[in-house]
Structure 1
C-alpha cells in the first residue's frame, strides 16, 4: 500500500499526464461551441437576445433561485448582446487554436456558462457536458500540445538555443524554488483536472446505463423503437422508418447500449477499452444522424478521447505527417499539363 501511494503521488506531482488528450478536448469543445454559435446565428435573438420569449427579466428571477450568473443579462441593449455574441465567437475560435490558453480558457468557461444560463430551457443535453468540461479545462494545461502557444514556445526555444542563451535558468535560489513550486502547482492542477474529467465521463456512462436498466422499454428492447417514432427526434423520417423495420437489430442495439454503458468504467484498464470506445463512437454517430442530436453526440465523442493514451495521438500525428509528405512527393513528381506537353513522345516499343 505505501508503494502504491508513493506511485500515485509521483504520478500527480512530477509529470503532467495526457497532454495530447487535453489538447484534443480543447480543440473538440472549442470547435463544437464555435460551430454551435454559428449554427444558431440566425436564431440568436430568439434564443439568447432581447427578442427571446425567455426574457432577461425572467432569467434574472430564475438566477435568484438557482444562483446562476450570465453576462448576457447585464444589459437589455441589442448592441450589447451583439458585442457579447461576437466576443463569444472570437473566444471559442481562440480557445480552439490555443492562443494564450491559460487566460482564454477562463473566458471560454465564462462564455459557455453565460449562454447556458441565459436560455437553460431552450437547448439540448450536449451543452450540459460542454459546460462541465469547459470548467474542468480551466485547471488543465490544455495548450501545451497542438496549439499556437506550443508553436510559439518551440520558436522561442529554437531562437534562444541558436543565440546560445540558457533557458529557464533563474538567478537566485529563491527564484529557483519559486519556479519549481509554480511548476508543481500547474502539474497537480492539470493531473487532477484530467482525472476529474475521466471520472465525470465514467459517472455519466455508468449512471445512464443503470438508469436504463430500471426501465421496462430497455429491458424488452423497444426503447429505440419508440425514440425513432418521436417526431421531435426524426430529422430524417424516411431513414428512421427504414431502421425501425429491423426489430432484431433494434433490440440488439438496446441491449448493447446498456451493456457498454454499465461496463464502461470497468474496461478502462485493459485493451478491451479500444473496441468499447470504437463501438461507442459508432453509437454516438448513430444518435447524431438518426435522432438529430449532433451537439450531444459530438460532446460525448470528444469526452471519450480522454481515455486514449498520448502514444496513440503521437502515432496519429506521425501518420498524418507521413501521409502529407507522401502526398507532397507524389504531387511534386506528377508533371503539370504544360510540362507533359514538353516531354518527348513515347515510342511504345519496349527494349
Structure 2
C-alpha cells in the first residue's frame, strides 16, 4: 500500500506556482507576429479613411477658394507688385529661409493677375476633385507660393492649410465625393475596360506592375492620413501645454484680454456683451485648456465624439467673436480626419434622401473600386 501511494504520488503532486503563467508567457510572443501581420495588412492592402480624405480635400479647397475671392480687392496690396513687401524684399528673405514662390518670378502685373486667376481655378478644381492627383500638386504649389510671398500676413489658419496641402498630395483624396470618382463609376458601369491581347509574360508583368503601383499608392495614402492625424494631435497638445504655462489662462482671464483687443473685435458690441460674463469666460478658458491637453488621449474611445463636438463649438466661437474664420475653418476641417467612414457614408445616404437628384455615390460602387482604371481616379 505504501509503495502504491508512492507510485501514485507524482500524479497528484500540485503544480508549481506560476507554471500556468510561464506557459502563457511562452505563448504570448506568438501573438506579436499576428499583430504585426494585421498592421502590415492594414497599411499595405486597404486605404484607410477615404471619406475623411475627401472631406479634407473639399474643405481646404473651398477655404482657399473663398479666401482668394475674399481678398480679391486687396490682392495687389498683399501679394502683388504694389505690396509694401516688395518682390525684391521677398526674394531677399527667401535667400535666408529657403522659401520659394512663383509670384516672384516676374514683377509684371499681368503675370500676377494670371497667377491669381490660375490659383482660384486650381482651388476650385481641387475642391471638386478633377484630376486630383495632378491638381493636388498644383494646389500645394499655389498655397506655398501665396504663403511665402506674404509670410507676415498670416493668422495661423493658412499655416495649417499649407501643411495639409502638402500632406494631401500623397493621399488618395480623390476616390470619394469627386468628379474623378464619378468618372470611374461611369466607366465601370459602361464596361469600357478593354483588355488587349497580350502574351502570358507581358500580361504577368503588367499585372505585377499594377499591383505594385496599387501598393505604393495605398501605403502613401495611409501614411499621409496618419501624419495628418498626428499633426492635429501635436497641434492641440502643444497649444494646450503652452496655455498651461500662461498666468492669464491659469486665472481664467485670457479670453477677457482677447475680447478687448481691437484687432480681434469684428463686432465690438458683441465682444463687449460676451465680456460681461466673467464666470462664463473663466469656464471657457479652463475648458479650452482641458480639451486641448486631453485631445490626443481620447481619440481611441467614444469620448472623442463629445470632445470633437465641443471643439467645433469652440472654433465657431473663435470665428464669430475673434474674427478668425479662416483659422476656425481650417481647424474644423482638420478635426474631420478623426470621424469614421461610416459617419460619412451615413451623411451620403442622408443627402440622397434630402436631395434626391444629388448623385454623391461616385466611388461607393464596388466595381469602380475594383476596376484597374480606378487607380487613375486620384
Q: Confirm or deny a common fold (TM above 0.5).
A: yes
Task: Kindly indicate whether residue 35 of structure 2 is the aligned counterpart of residue 4 of structure 1.
Answer: yes
Deviation at 1:3, TM superposition (A): 2.5
Q: Output aligned runs, 1:86-235, within 5 Å.
A: 86-160=117-191, 172-235=203-266
Deviation at 1:324, TM superposition (A): 2.2
Q: Which whole-Å CA distance do the structure 2 matches of 1:166 and 1:265 have between them? A: 48
Whether the 8 Å contact between 2:56 and 2:337 is mirrored in structure 1 is yes
Higher Cα radius of gyration: 2
Q: Secondary structure at the match of 1:297?
A: helix
Q: Which whole-Å CA distance do the structure 2 matches of 1:164 and 1:321 have between them? A: 28
> Aligned match of 2:323 in 267, 292, 298?
292
Q: Which whole-Å CA distance do the structure 1 matches of 2:162 and 2:284 have between them? A: 29
Q: TM-score, normalised by structure 1?
A: 0.90
Deviation at 1:279, TM superposition (A): 0.3
Aligned residues: 324
1:118-140 Cα offsets, whole Å, 9 max, x none, are 00001211000000000000000
RMSD of aligned Cα (Å): 1.6
Task: Kindly indicate whether residue 77 of structure 2 is the aligned counterpart of residue 46 of structure 1.
Answer: yes
Q: Which whole-Å CA distance do the structure 1 matches of 2:298 and 2:231 have between them? A: 16
> Aligned match of 2:336 in 291, 305, 309?
305
Counterpart for residue 78 of structure 1: 109
Deviation at 1:165, TM superposition (A): 5.8
Deviation at 1:322, TM superposition (A): 1.4
Q: Secondary structure at the match of 2:355?
A: helix
Whether the 8 Å contact between 2:129 and 2:179 is mirrored in structure 1 is yes
- Unaligned 5+ residue runs, structure 1? 328-351
Deviation at 1:319, TM superposition (A): 1.0
Counterpart for residue 277 of structure 1: 308
> Aligned match of 2:66 in 35, 46, 59?
35
Deviation at 1:166, TM superposition (A): 6.7
Whether the 8 Å contact between 2:187 and 2:193 is mirrored in structure 1 is no
- Unaligned 5+ residue runs, structure 2? 1-31, 359-378
Q: TM-score, normalised by structure 2?
A: 0.84
Deviation at 1:176, TM superposition (A): 0.5
Deviant stretches of 4+, over 6 Å: none
Counterpart for residue 17 of structure 2: none
1:220-249 Cα offsets, whole Å, 9 max, x none, are 000000000000000000000101101110
